[in-house]
Chain A
Amino acid sequence: MNKQEILEQLAKAVVEGDKNSARENAQAAVDEGLDPLEAVDRGLSKGMAVVGANFESGESFLPELLMAADSFNAAMEILNPLIEANKQKISKLGTALLATVKGDMHNIGKNIVATVLETNGFEVVDIGIDQSTLNIIEAAQKHKADFIGLSSVMTTTMPYQKEVIETLSEMGLREKFFVLVGGGPVTQKWADEIGADGYGDTAVDAVGVAKKLLEKKG
């Protein structure tokens, strides 16, 4: 296989969610002496872009997205050591810390947002469900997050989104993070009321909002 064919096969493996093919072609890229960053940018990421576009247009769904991400990661297990050895870095748009607030055990919406953010070039740290305000803030500091994404699926847990924002202000940390809120009963009106920086009606919307905020930040 020549270089172009390997790149095409890497993209195809991601689109088809074929983990084995992703591994094989990543190994082929290494064996043929391809620049690993080029394999990521012009192979794997190209495939993710196709899957992301299909997801946004409603042609494919979460399973396809997850399987694509899985294949991407399988290939990265082979490419990453080389990238590190070459002291290269994969550029990320920003880091998002995601959590479902205290008292709320729902995770599917948050997981969808995490996957869509990742496929759009964000570093995602997902600390899971039922997270207290202080846990969320400490994790955001630890991971040097640009965003804190708060999910709440019940009206009775929505006040914890407000609590995170208020506590950030109390601790003098409000300006350090963009806070995005989402979840079934959450609306733009609620986001405005509690002083959130952004709200996404869907996962795709959330990514758009995150990108716009980063552009503003410059």
Chain B
Amino acid sequence: MFNMLDIYDRAVKGPIMSEKDFDMKVFLPNLKDVVKKYDIRYDKENPVPSDDAAADNLFEAGVEFLTRVGVYCQGTNRVMQFTEQEIRQVLKEAPGQCFPGKGKEAGVLGMRKPDESKYPWFHNGTGIAFSSEELMTNMIEGCATIAEINSISFPALEYIRGLPSVGGTPAEFLASIRSVNIGLQAIKRAGRPGLPVLNLISTAATAQSAIAASAPQFGCRPTDGWLCGTVAEFKLDFGVMTKIAYLKSSGCLVGAETAPILGGFCGGPDGTAVASTAYIIMGLVVHNANYQLHFPVHFRFSCTTTRDVIWVNSVSCQAASRNIPMPVIWDPYCAAGPNTKMFMYETAAYLLSVVPSGAPAFETSHPAKGVMVDGFTPMEARWNVEMGKAASKLKRAEANDLVKRLLQKYEPRIKNPPPGSRYQDCYDVITAKPIDAYIRLYNEVKAELTEMGIPLT
């Protein structure tokens, strides 16, 4: 494995070029060429294929692509390059598991194979941002009480004492500490103080605030996980690299965060599948990460549930779970908001595409593309857990048929999805319970999908 000094060394010694030349002269032509060489083809009719040889072929394409292209360092305008032998050595050495959580909440976040019936790791996302500390606390506590949840995320705190937590300012740093504090109090209230938090520190956009607020006196624990992002496509800056160096030196869990954009530089589904696979290899080679949060996303609809992205998720998940020892948390973004049938269909389709494809873990799906403030409730978390369990009982071939039927239900509305309800509109804020209408809608969709053949118990 490479440590951050090895990576930094390549960032100062690699070939120098402008970012535009990296995009246009390195990334685009090599991706096009690798797609052609390995004959990667999008199969619109089969969003969840069952072809192990094709999955292994996609993995080889991912290795070759990363070898040819490398990763661009924005800090030095140089390309960090790796030989095929180095990449394969890293893959050989990677443990394929990590150990988040403390006390009775300690667990093993490890690998799964396609068609394996073992439950995936349930990571509970809790929405992107909340407007008040009270709502944020209610929501985290509500999610943490779901027994099956193995780990949790804390949303970003948008304001502190009425001031926006603007990146790179003291407000950001202080809001970062505050958000960790609120979150940890909420999981204690749920009776699960050791529950691992795997998205630290969402309020801290800058590395300096993330590092400063991660000091142990503010409550974070090495058994939690920190997300270290990349810039699309295949770029890193010194802030993230420094953050990784700090976290590794502190013995914390590092999560590589990657999101190839279908329709962006990756082009269509074929190229995005190659980039998606290469990104998971990159998480091991460059971030030396313990786990990865990964979400190929559609550039136009900003969600992960379109037919082409569903295919990318399934094939790159199969390629990774068969060949790359990286515990990937697959992270869905739905177009529709909470308290809508469409959200439940999209979530079902997404989980049926990744869980039977061997996803080691998944995050509960983000409603409304993750942009609605207060746009998440424990009911969505509950649906994800139920669907995740059901999906683990199915093979890829069965899932393929079900996903096609689910796509028929929501695909025509992907351009104009229903916005859904905010937490305070579909929950009683005092009792922290869902309103009756939401419970009725939930049960109605659950019965409908059970009738379709999804083994929801």
Chain A residues 33-85 with CB under 8 Å of chain B are 58, 61-64, 66-67, 70
Q: Which residues of B contact A107 (CB under 8 A)?
A: 19, 231
Tell whether A105 is near chain B: CB-to-CB under 8 Å: yes
Tell whether A112 is near chain B: CB-to-CB under 8 Å: yes
* Interface bits A92-109 vs B (CB < 8 Å: 1, else 0): 000000000011111110
B178 to chain A, nearest CB (A): 14
Distance in angstroms between the alpha carbons of A157 and B264 in the assembled complex: 22
Q: Which residues of B contact A185 (CB under 8 A)?
A: 128-129, 370-371
* Interface bits B259-289 vs A (CB < 8 Å: 1, else 0): 0011111111001000000000000000000
Tell whether A160 is near chain B: CB-to-CB under 8 Å: yes
Q: Which residues of B contact A201 (CB under 8 A)?
A: 302
B87 to chain A, nearest CB (A): 25
Q: Which residues of B contact A104 (CB under 8 A)?
A: 167, 205
Tell whether B364 is near chain A: CB-to-CB under 8 Å: no
Tell whether B141 is near chain A: CB-to-CB under 8 Å: no
B28 touches A159 (CB 8 A): no
B299 touches A155 (CB 8 A): no
How many chain A residues have a CB neighbour from B under 8 Å? 29
A105-B237 contact, Cβ under 8 Å, with A155-B128, A184-B371: yes
B237 touches A160 (CB 8 A): no
Tell whether A168 is near chain B: CB-to-CB under 8 Å: no
A197 to chain B, nearest CB (A): 20
B264 touches A156 (CB 8 A): no
B165 touches A156 (CB 8 A): yes
A62-B205 contact, Cβ under 8 Å, with A155-B128, A155-B158: no
Distance in angstroms between the alpha carbons of A64 and B32 in the assembled complex: 11
A105-B129 contact, Cβ under 8 Å, with A63-B28, A154-B205, A159-B166: no
B32 touches A157 (CB 8 A): no
Tell whether A187 is near chain B: CB-to-CB under 8 Å: yes
Tell whether B441 is near chain A: CB-to-CB under 8 Å: no
A155 touches B156 (CB 8 A): yes
A106-B268 contact, Cβ under 8 Å, with A63-B28, A156-B172, A159-B166: no
Distance in angstroms between the alpha carbons of A105 and B232 in the assembled complex: 10
Beta-carbon nearest neighbor of A201 in chain B: B302
B99 to chain A, nearest CB (A): 30
B299 touches A112 (CB 8 A): yes
A187 touches B371 (CB 8 A): yes
A103-B205 contact, Cβ under 8 Å, with A108-B261, A108-B264, A108-B265: yes
Q: Which residues of A contact B19 (CB under 8 A)?
A: 107
A105 touches B231 (CB 8 A): yes
Q: How many A-B residue pairs have CB under 8 A?
A: 88
B302 touches A184 (CB 8 A): yes
Chain B residues 234-277 with CB under 8 Å of chain A are 237, 239, 261-268, 271
Q: Which residues of B contact A141 (CB under 8 A)?
A: none
Tell whether B300 is near chain A: CB-to-CB under 8 Å: yes
Distance in angstroms between the alpha carbons of A107 and B20 in the assembled complex: 11
Q: Which residues of B contact A20 (CB under 8 A)?
A: none
A112-B166 contact, Cβ under 8 Å, with A58-B300, A103-B206: no
Q: Which residues of B contact A156 (CB under 8 A)?
A: 156, 165-167, 172, 203-206
Tell whether A86 is near chain B: CB-to-CB under 8 Å: no
Tell whether A4 is near chain B: CB-to-CB under 8 Å: no
26 residue pairs bridging A and B, Cβ less than 8 Å apart: A61-B263, A61-B264, A61-B299, A62-B263, A63-B271, A66-B24, A67-B28, A103-B167, A103-B205, A104-B167, A107-B231, A108-B231, A108-B261, A112-B264, A154-B167, A155-B128, A155-B129, A155-B156, A155-B158, A155-B205, A156-B165, A156-B167, A156-B205, A157-B205, A184-B302, A186-B371
Besides A63-B28, A185-B129, A202-B300, 17 new A-B residue pairs in contact (Cβ under 8 A), listed by A number: A61-B266, A61-B267, A62-B265, A66-B28, A103-B166, A103-B168, A103-B206, A104-B167, A105-B237, A112-B299, A155-B128, A155-B129, A156-B165, A156-B204, A156-B205, A160-B166, A201-B302
Where the two chains meet, the residues of B that have a C-beta atom closer than 8 Å to any C-beta of A are 19, 23-24, 28, 31-32, 74, 128-129, 156, 158, 164-168, 172, 203-206, 231-233, 237, 239, 261-268, 271, 299-300, 302, 370-372
